[in-house]
Amino acid sequence: MGEDAAATTEATRCAFIALIGAPNAGKSTLINALVGSKVAIVTPKVQTTRALLRGIAMEGSAQLVLIDTPGIFAPRRRLDRAMVTTAWGGAHDADIVTVLIDAKRGIDDEAEALLKKLDEVRQPKVLILNKVDLVEKASLLALARAANATARFETTFMISATKGDGVADVRQWLAARAPAGPWHYPADEVSDAPARHLAAEITREKLYLKLHQELPYQSTVETETWTERKDGSVRIEQTIYVERESQRKIVLGKAGQSIKAIGESARRELAGILEKKVHLFLFVKVREGWGDDPERYRQMGLEFPKE
Ligand SMILES: Nc1nc2c(ncn2[C@@H]2O[C@H](COP(=O)(O)OP(=O)(O)OP(=O)(O)O)[C@@H](O)[C@H]2O)c(=O)[nH]1
Ligand SMILES: [Mg+2]
């Protein structure tokens, strides 16, 4: 009873917090760690996250709406441009912007370019040096100093998103900094993405983990149908779009071995998340030039760049 009374008298707070950084810095890993469950996919490959995704974390009376963004890099293809524009858009719409730097990679050209562009970001900024488990402590101080010399940060954290070191400190700091206001989501919600979107993302994650080279970037996954069955299970059909027949063959693998492994591992993870039996059916279709097809962008939740 005491706790309830406290919760109703204490004013609620809510902050929109964008996580930006170079590809592979660990943004999605940190979102998952802050939320406390997997809402965003993670792979060792660059350019995993394609569109904005909101993960929701609660800390005391504060709700933290964490905006996962695509990595920021020098874009070439249309899809790359859409992703980078989206990432900066996410930053400009937030109350607080956290900038992740991979401590192992340090301030390379990509991180340097990003830090320089932070001048244009008006919101309070926080620096997060991630992957501290991979580097010597001494190098971290030099890195923090160099980054703070290029951009203005309110504070600097040194964390390991995979190990969880320092994550609670980040959550608490953000909560303390959150402006007073109503929560935007119910307290038990972990993400703004519908289940069918997460399901497509999980399949894309398995595709990235299973296949190598350029192929993953020339593929996209969409959930086509989602049918709840009377026996409590769910039947999900998804299409993996690739650009060429040769790529379709790679996704299928010898005697369908690759697609089978991708489907099995996606199905297993989905069953765990949905807490029900999942029947997953994957189809691979060649859609030449899907990277220039506005409908594919709409499905991904990205604006279609005119050129
Ligand atoms: N050793 C170590 N690895 C990490 C840490 N955080 C993330 N990683 C790894 O870094 C890789 C990239 O992580 P992601 O979370 O996908 O990175 P991202 O910044 O979201 O990448 P994009 O979506 O491509 O921009 C994965 O293999 C993670 O397991 C960390 O603290 N320590
Ligand atoms: Mg990501």
pLDDT at residue 256 tops 70: yes
Take residue 262 and report the two structure tokens written for it: 């991708």
Which residues does 67 contact at the CB level (< 8 Å), separation at least 6? 16, 17, 18, 19, 52, 53, 54, 90, 93, 94
Distance 44 CA to ligand 1 centre (A): 6
Length of the chain: 307
pLDDT one-digit tens code per residue, 269-278:
999 999 999 9
Ligand nearest to the CA of 101: 1
Each residue of 146-176: pLDDT tens digit? 999 999 999 999 999 999 999 999 999 999 9
pLDDT at site 5: 41
Kindly write down the DSSP assignment for every residue of 199-268, as one continuous string: HHHHHHHHHHHH--TTGGGG-EEEEEEEEE-TTS-EEEEEEEEESSHHHHHHHH-GGGHHHHHHHHHHHH
Once rounded to an integer, what is the mean pLDDT over residues 185-201? 96
Q: Tell me which ligand sits closest to the C-alpha of residue 44.
A: 1
Q: What is the mean pLDDT of residues 94-110?
A: 97
Residues 268-291, mean pLDDT to the nearest whole number:
96
Q: Which of 215, 283, 224, 210 is nearest to 244 (CA)?
A: 215
Q: Given the CA of residue 44, which atom of ligand 1 is nearest to it? A: 27
Q: Whose CA is nearest to atom 10 of ligand 1?
A: 26
Q: Which ligand is nearest to the CA of 208?
A: 1
Confidence (pLDDT) at 107: 97
Q: What sign does the dihedral 197-202-206-209 (CA atoms) show?
A: positive
First to last CA, the chain: 59
- Measured by CA distance, the residue closest to atom 32 of ligand 1 is 131
Strands 62-68 and 96-102: unpaired
Phi, psi of 294 (to 5 degrees): -50, -35
User: Who lines ligand 1 at CB under 6 A?
Assistant: 21, 23-29, 42-44, 46-49, 70-71, 130-131, 133-134, 160-162
> How do 53-59 and 62-68 pair as beta strands?
antiparallel
- pLDDT confidence of residue 9: 47
The average confidence (pLDDT) of the chain is: 94
Closest CA to 203 of 274, 288, 285, 269: 269
Q: Whose CA is nearest to atom 12 of ligand 1?
A: 24
- Locate the ligand 1 atom nearest the alpha carbon of residue 21 and give its number: 19
> Shortest CA distance to 159 belongs to which of 138, 142, 134?
134
Q: Which amino acid is at 249?
A: K
In the structure, ligand 2 is a single-atom ion and the residues with CB under 5 Å from it are 27-28, 48-49
| Residue 130 alpha carbon, nearest atom of ligand 1 | 31
Q: Is the pLDDT of residue 215 over 90?
A: no
The structure tokens 């620096």 sit at: 127
Q: Which is higher by pLDDT, 137 or 268?
A: 268
Residues paired with 195 in a beta bridge: none
Q: What is the DSSP code (8-state) at residue 182?
A: -
Give residue 306's pLDDT band: very low, low, confident or very high (50, 70, 90). Answer: confident
Query: Across residues 215-223, what is the average pLDDT?
Result: 89
pLDDT in tens, 55-83: 999 999 999 999 999 999 999 999 999 99
Distance from the CA of 130 to the center of ligand 1, in angstroms?
Answer: 9
- Please state, in angstroms and rounded to a whole number, the distance separating the CA atoms of residues 53 and 67: 6
Residue 183 has pLDDT above 50, yes or no: yes
- 213 or 209, greater pLDDT: 209
Q: Does position 260 have pLDDT exceeding 70, yes or no?
A: yes
By most ligand atoms within 8 Å of CB, the mutation choice from 20, 39, 42, 136 for ligand 1 is 42
**Looking at residue 307, what is its pLDDT?**
77
